[in-house]
Amino acid sequence: MSESKDFLRTIVEADLKSGKYKEITTRFPPEPNGFPHIGHAKSICINFGIAADYNGHCNLRMDDTNPTKEDTKYVEALKDAVQWLGFHWGDNVRFTSDYFDQIHDYAIELIKMGKAYVDSTNEEEMRELRGTVKEAGKRSKFAERTIEENLDLFERMKNGDFKDGSHVLRAKIDMSAANMKMRDPLLYRIRHAHHFRAGDKWSIYPMYDFAHCLSDFIEGVSHSICTLEFENNRDIYNWVLDTLGLTTVRPFQHEFARLGINYTVMSKRKLLELVEGGQVSGWDDPRLPTIAGYKRRGYTPESILTFCDQIGIAKANSMVDVAQLEFCIRDDLNTKVPRVMCVLDPLKVTIVNYEGSEELESSYYPDDIAKDGTRALPFSKEIYIERDDFMENPPKGYFRLTPDQVVRLKHAYIIKCKEVIKDADGKIIEIKAEYIAESKSGSDTSGIKVKSAIHWVEAKTAKEVEVRVYDRLFLDEAPEGLEDVNPNSLTIIKNALIEPAVITEKPDERFQFERQGYFYADPIDYTDAKPVFNKIVGLKGSWGQKKKPTTEAPKAKKEHIDGEVVAMSENEQALFNKYSELGLNSEVANTLARDEQLSSFYEEALAELNSPVSLANIVTNEVARELKQMAVHELKFNASQIAELVKMIDDKTISNKIAKQVFEEMVKSGNAPTKIVKDKGLVQISDPSVISPIIDEVITKNPDNVEKFKAGNTKLLGFFVGQVLKATGGKANPQVVNKLVAEKLK
Ligand code: ATP
Ligand code: MG
């Protein structure tokens, strides 16, 4: 629990102190019309958390008053989520539908009091009569019906004598109330629908505003906690209970702010669209913000509880950075899980001067973590390293293996590159290397300094595994709709290689793959024949470093496991810290900070355009490559032109891919990027009227795939999008294409 009390707990404590309640009872009241998401987790933590903190009780209540959308599979998902988060609801799950009889009796009581009437105006007229914020409404002429008439009509509504929509039961409150919700709100409507629990017993169903307060009362709830959008419904809540004279225990409603997270959508309706549209594999797709999704991805319940605690409870809606949630899981796993080695993109290395084999006893945990456990790491002359841990023509600041730079194999030896073997296309297929026998980890007497240590696996004993890497599901921070879905949110790596102990010893379900991130054995698809791991989260994020003043500033050193690292000067460290705070990852921040030429070029560009991450990417890759061959004053382009180029990427005038092409041209001609884009017609095409005919052509050319798509293979959407992008030479705006293709194939 947070050290400082939130406003809800302050209210609860005051109510206990004043004797208003002897016991605290809360409830978590989801509608079972979809899987719960991280927003529900917040509500679960609040309701169950408060009950636990004050020795009270929290009910799990299914708010099942809408028969057409609800289903038992959602009830199960909700139960599972609450349990997984570690909360208990007592003997049984409650259902609003269990109270339908009682709620109906209360309606009759209101009618008898002259406080409710059957209205038979049609929907449109009813809307007109309600008035506006500025103008009072007018009561319907049916409000004059006698109590007997109302009782008779209501009975016949219940018996199914009328069509849907022909009559409603309304509370008789105040048609000129400033709070529009109080202008004779609906209490019951006719619905000839089968209810998943109540069956066909009812032809009328109570509205939320009537059912909720009464269910709270029936259950003896003291604090009815809900989100801010119900603020205006509070008056009805009170009116119903007060009018019926329901006083002990009298529940009161309190509202808090909804949780929103960037780069995702959070309403069950939108999540359902994603699930039904096939953009994700199901409600438990690890890219979704559902509890089932987080669970399958490998998040721990603890990390979600910490997150809910950190974001606190407030009265103002706000958007939380998803990086904060990622920080919580990273922080939780950092000290818990074994660290192992897995190579995602293998490059073979043959150590020509090593004979035989050995087993290196290596710890699963670094020294600063108070956990024990070791495994034997097989080593021999054939190993695999990560393809990008070797570079033949490295940019300045590259610390890993090169023809001229040694590197340490984590837990093993220092190696140096002797020969680079390529295939006919010039692709590197193998490195011949030599190891330094005296450099064995733990007993290194070689005196050789290395700039970094890399992970690796031994060729014969390594196991092949599938690794699923997830990226944000949406490209946009605040996605408007499903057309913002990131087409590259899932990458499947089929042939990653992992050290054998992970598979044979199974020391855990979650791991840190050294230098790659945290991973989880997929609870559904993992088999001994085909192990599958989900990437939970990467090793680094910007959030924790920026917002947690108590944690030490990140040190570039951290990245270079176990080998000795040339220390940074004070200046370089200061730059590194600054760049980390701007959101650059440590690798990029490192490269910039350690290279004066690059950092001053970067600073100059940054002064022109506040886009730190995109600028850093171009400067450390493209610009750095050029600077290896010439001095700054010899370059044909300058920093402000790079800023101009990045601006065009940022505002989506050009795609990333096209930007590379423009850069090549800048290097050659020295022309301004805007001019190049204009002259060569490289502007990204976002105009639907231009893209549309191209899509039509692709559709006409692929009738088979259209048929398959329409038959339900929605994954083919990607195929069509790809074809259209190809046809425009990569110039079409992928988001627009996505949207149009989806519309046309409907
Ligand atoms: P959605 O719009 O996602 O369908 P909802 O509000 O309709 O959500 P319910 O099933 O009615 O979902 O909600 C159950 C409880 O969870 C309610 O008390 C609701 O206020 C709360 N809740 C729903 N979404 C959030 C959220 N994003 N943040 C905090 N609480 C939430
Ligand atoms: Mg809802």
pLDDT bin (cut points 50, 70, 90) of residue 314 is confident
* Separation CA 535–CA 522 (nearest Å): 9
Do 435 and 584 share a domain, yes or no? no
Contact predicate 229/258, CB 8 Å: yes
Do 217 and 75 share a domain, yes or no? yes
- Ligand 1: atom nearest CA of 266 is 3
Q: Which of 43, 253, 275 to mutate to test the pocket of ligand 1 (most atoms within 8 A of CB)?
A: 43
* Separation CA 419–CA 431 (nearest Å): 6
pLDDT tens, 421-442? 999 999 999 999 999 999 999 9
pLDDT value at position 489? 94
Last residue of a domain, one of 164, 181, 206: 206
* Residue 673 burial by Cβ neighbours in a 10 Å radius (0-12, 13-18, 19+): buried
Amino acid at 686: S
Q: Is residue 326 part of a domain?
A: no
Number of domains in the chain: 5
Closest to 414 (Cα-Cα) out of 383, 444, 379, 458: 444
Asked which of 66-70, 271-275, 303-307, 376-380 is least confident by mean pLDDT, the reply is 66-70
Q: Is residue 502 part of a domain?
A: no
- Ligand 1: atom nearest CA of 259 is 28
Q: What is the overall mean pLDDT for the chain? A: 92
Given 268, 297, 408, 468, which residue is catalytic?
268
Residues 6+ apart with CB under 8 A from 680: 665
Last residue of a domain, one of 206, 226, 246: 206
> Where residue 17 sits, what CATH number does that domain have?
3.40.50.620
- Ligand 1: atom nearest CA of 258 is 28
Nearest protein Cα to ligand 1, atom 22: 40
pLDDT bin (cut points 50, 70, 90) of residue 563 is very low
Q: Which of left, alpha, beta for 538 (phi over 0: left; psi -120 to 50: alpha)?
A: beta
Q: Is residue 361 part of a domain?
A: yes
Q: Is residue 491 part of a domain?
A: no
Nearest protein Cα to ligand 1, atom 10: 30
> Where residue 726 sits, what CATH number does that domain have?
1.10.10.410
pLDDT tens, 454-503? 999 999 999 999 999 999 999 888 887 777 899 899 999 999 999 999 99
Asked whether the predicted pLDDT for residue 284 surpasses 80, the reply is yes
Do 350 and 243 share a domain, yes or no? no
- Ligand 1: atom nearest CA of 271 is 3
pLDDT tens, 669-701? 889 999 999 888 888 888 898 999 999 999 999
**Which H or E run contains 328?**
helix 322-334
Asked which of 35-49, 225-239, 625-639 is least confident by mean pLDDT, the reply is 625-639
pLDDT bin (cut points 50, 70, 90) of residue 365 is very high
The ligand whose atoms approach the alpha carbon of 268 most closely is 1
Last residue of a domain, one of 462, 478, 512: 462
Closest to 465 (Cα-Cα) out of 559, 343, 644: 343
Mean pLDDT in residue range 192-207: 96
| Helix/strand/coil for 552 | coil
Distance from residue 317's CA to the centre of ligand 2 (Å): 17
Nearest protein Cα to ligand 1, atom 25: 39
Backbone angles phi, psi at 101, to 5 degrees: -65, -45
Mean pLDDT in residue range 401-406: 96
* Separation CA 338–CA 373 (nearest Å): 8
Distance from residue 329's CA to the centre of ligand 2 (Å): 28
Do 180 and 114 share a domain, yes or no? yes
Q: How many Cα atoms sit within 13 Å of 723 on the Cβ side? A: 19
Mean pLDDT in residue range 23-50: 97
> Where residue 112 sits, what CATH number does that domain have?
3.90.800.10
Please measure the distance between the N-terminal and C-terminal CA atoms of the chain and give it in whole angstroms.
49
Do 429 and 396 share a domain, yes or no? yes
- Ligand 1: atom nearest CA of 260 is 27
Q: Note if 258 is an active site residue.
A: yes
Asked whether the predicted pLDDT for residue 639 surpasses 90, the reply is yes
Nearest protein Cα to ligand 1, atom 13: 30
Do 421 and 360 share a domain, yes or no? yes
Given 13, 31, 109, 466, which residue is catalytic?
31
Do 641 and 666 share a domain, yes or no? yes
Do 697 and 721 share a domain, yes or no? yes
The ligand whose atoms approach the alpha carbon of 75 most closely is 1
pLDDT tens, 223-250? 999 999 999 999 999 999 999 999 999 9
- Ligand 1: atom nearest CA of 31 is 10
Q: Is residue 739 part of a domain?
A: yes
Closest to 624 (Cα-Cα) out of 581, 583, 667, 661: 667
pLDDT value at position 543? 53
Asked which of 555-559, 606-610, 706-710 is least confident by mean pLDDT, the reply is 555-559
Distance from residue 31's CA to the centre of ligand 2 (Å): 6
The ligand whose atoms approach the alpha carbon of 253 most closely is 1
Q: Is residue 612 part of a domain?
A: yes
pLDDT tens, 148-190? 999 999 999 999 999 999 999 999 999 999 999 999 999 999 9
pLDDT value at position 551? 37
Do 575 and 657 share a domain, yes or no? yes
pLDDT value at position 569? 80
Backbone angles phi, psi at 508, to 5 degrees: -170, 180
Asked whether the predicted pLDDT for residue 335 surpasses 80, the reply is yes
Count of beta carbons in the 10 Å neighbourhood of residue 43: 20
Distance of CA 48 to the CA centre of its chain: 24
The ligand whose atoms approach the alpha carbon of 229 most closely is 1
Q: Note if 330 is an active site residue.
A: no
Closest to 352 (Cα-Cα) out of 328, 332, 381: 381
pLDDT value at position 564? 41
Q: Note if 31 is an active site residue.
A: yes
Closest to 565 (Cα-Cα) out of 550, 551, 555: 555
Do 444 and 361 share a domain, yes or no? yes
DSSP string, 83-114: HHTT----S--EEGGGGHHHHHHHHHHHHHTT
> Where residue 430 sits, what CATH number does that domain have?
2.40.240.10
* Degrees, nearest 5: CA angle 363-364-368: 80
Asked whether the predicted pLDDT for residue 416 surpasses 80, the reply is yes
Tokens 């099942």, located at residue: 64
Asked which of 45-59, 151-165, 307-321, 443-457 is least confident by mean pLDDT, the reply is 307-321
- Whole-model pTM: value is 0.74
Tokens 């017609």, located at residue: 681
Asked whether the predicted pLDDT for residue 573 surpasses 80, the reply is yes
pLDDT value at position 481? 76
Domain that holds residue 707: 688-744
Percent of the chain surpassing pLDDT 90: 73
Q: How far is CA 679 from CA 478, 665, 671, 682, in A?
A: 34, 11, 10, 8
Nearest protein Cα to ligand 1, atom 18: 226
Distance from residue 206's CA to the centre of ligand 1 (Å): 19
Residues with CB under 6 Å of ligand 1 are 29-31, 39-40, 42-43, 63, 226-227, 258-259, 266-268
Distance from residue 54's CA to the centre of ligand 2 (Å): 28
pLDDT bin (cut points 50, 70, 90) of residue 65 is very high
- Ligand 1: atom nearest CA of 230 is 20
Distance from residue 224's CA to the centre of ligand 2 (Å): 16
| Reduced 3-state DSSP string for 523-543 | CCCCCCCCCEEEEEECCCCCH
pLDDT tens, 113-136? 999 999 999 999 999 999 998 899
pLDDT value at position 721? 85
pLDDT value at position 546? 39
Distance from residue 225's CA to the centre of ligand 1 (Å): 11
pLDDT value at position 473? 94
Structural tokens at position 146: 């006698």
- Secondary-structure breakdown of the chain: helix, strand, coil percentages, each rounded to the nearest 5: 40, 20, 40
* Separation CA 115–CA 244 (nearest Å): 10
* Separation CA 149–CA 245 (nearest Å): 24
Helices (H), 113-196: 123-129, 147-159
**Which H or E run contains 363?**
strand 357-363
Asked which of 427-441, 564-578, 654-668 is least confident by mean pLDDT, the reply is 564-578
**Which position has the higher pLDDT, 316 or 178?**
178
Given 79, 130, 189, 258, which residue is catalytic?
258
Closest to 566 (Cα-Cα) out of 405, 394, 408, 451: 451
pLDDT value at position 566? 67
Q: Which of 26, 27, 33, 40 to mutate to test the pocket of ligand 1 (most atoms within 8 A of CB)?
A: 40
Helices (H), 133-256: 147-159, 208-219, 234-243
Distance from residue 57's CA to the centre of ligand 2 (Å): 24
The ligand whose atoms approach the alpha carbon of 226 most closely is 1
Distance from residue 270's CA to the centre of ligand 2 (Å): 11
Structural tokens at position 572: 């370089």
* Separation CA 435–CA 264 (nearest Å): 48
The ligand whose atoms approach the alpha carbon of 264 most closely is 1
Q: Is residue 320 part of a domain?
A: no
pLDDT value at position 115? 98
Residues 6+ apart with CB under 8 A from 371: 335, 336, 364, 365
Burial 22-36 (b: 16+ CB within 10 A, else e): eebbbbbbbbbbbbb
Distance from residue 269's CA to the centre of ligand 2 (Å): 8
Mean pLDDT in residue range 55-74: 95
Q: Which of 227, 254, 325 to mutate to test the pocket of ligand 1 (most atoms within 8 A of CB)?
A: 227
Distance from residue 4's CA to the centre of ligand 1 (Å): 25
Do 347 and 449 share a domain, yes or no? yes
pLDDT value at position 34? 96
Contact predicate 70/35, CB 8 Å: no
pLDDT value at position 660? 85
pLDDT value at position 624? 87
Contact predicate 48/263, CB 8 Å: no
pLDDT value at position 553? 39
Structural tokens at position 277: 């549209």
Do 122 and 168 share a domain, yes or no? yes
Nearest protein Cα to ligand 1, atom 3: 267
* Separation CA 746–CA 744 (nearest Å): 6
* Separation CA 363–CA 139 (nearest Å): 77
Q: Is residue 300 part of a domain?
A: no
- Ligand 1: atom nearest CA of 227 is 20
